[in-house]
Structure 1
Amino acid sequence: MEISGLISAILIGAVIGILGRLVVPGRQRIGVLWTVVVGIVAALIGTAIASGLGVADTDGVDWGEWLIQIALAALGVTALSRVKVRR
């Protein structure tokens, strides 16, 4: 992976993480760094799932892929927030 690919993965992961965090109601007790990490992981896994479903490469904006990624980020933020609360 080139440096431009790494930077774009971090930026897209940050956006996905923030959108996933906005979808979850209430307060989440995780920091910005964890939000970005969850977003990056959700973006990678979401892209793989979207490719498997055949909705990753469409003409125009890949709304299906984005929805999958945001849903995974919301699940990740919720799970990580609950683990942090229990500690």
Structure 2
Amino acid sequence: MSFVLWLILGAIAGWAAGKIMRGGGFGLIGNIVVGIIGGVIGGWVFGLLGLEAGGFIGSLVTAIVGAVILLYVGSLIKK
């Protein structure tokens, strides 16, 4: 995937995770950061479970799942 697609995927995944976890986004840069970190976490978790997602949609689902996990853990740490 090209760098621009990584940024777009990160922005969409971060926005979606923000909507799922607290009902809002984090701004463009925040969404990109959360989405890209979520992609790494999601890829790691999917690898542990023996799951594999390919293509743009699979990468997006993986990033959203990872971003939700990231936001959930972050909310636990904040409390």
Q: TM-score, normalised by structure 1?
A: 0.58
Question: C-alpha root-mean-square deviation of aligned residues, in Å?
Answer: 3.2
Q: Per-residue CA shift, 1:12-62, capped at 9, x if unaligned?
A: 11111111011023556x43211210111101221222123221147xx64
For structure 1, the 5+ residue unaligned runs are: none
Secondary structure of 1:42's counterpart equals helix
1:21 aligns with 2:18: yes
What secondary structure, in the 3-state scheme, does the structure 2 residue paired with 1:24 have?
Answer: helix
2:9 equivalent in structure 1? 12
Q: TM-score, normalised by structure 2?
A: 0.62
Structure 2, unmatched stretches of 5+, are: none
Structure having the higher helix fraction is 2
8 Å CA contact 1:17–1:35 kept in 2: the answer is yes
Query: Secondary structure, in 3 states, of the residue corresponding to 1:47?
Result: helix
Q: Percent identity?
A: 21
Return the index of the structure with the highest Cα Rg.
Answer: 1
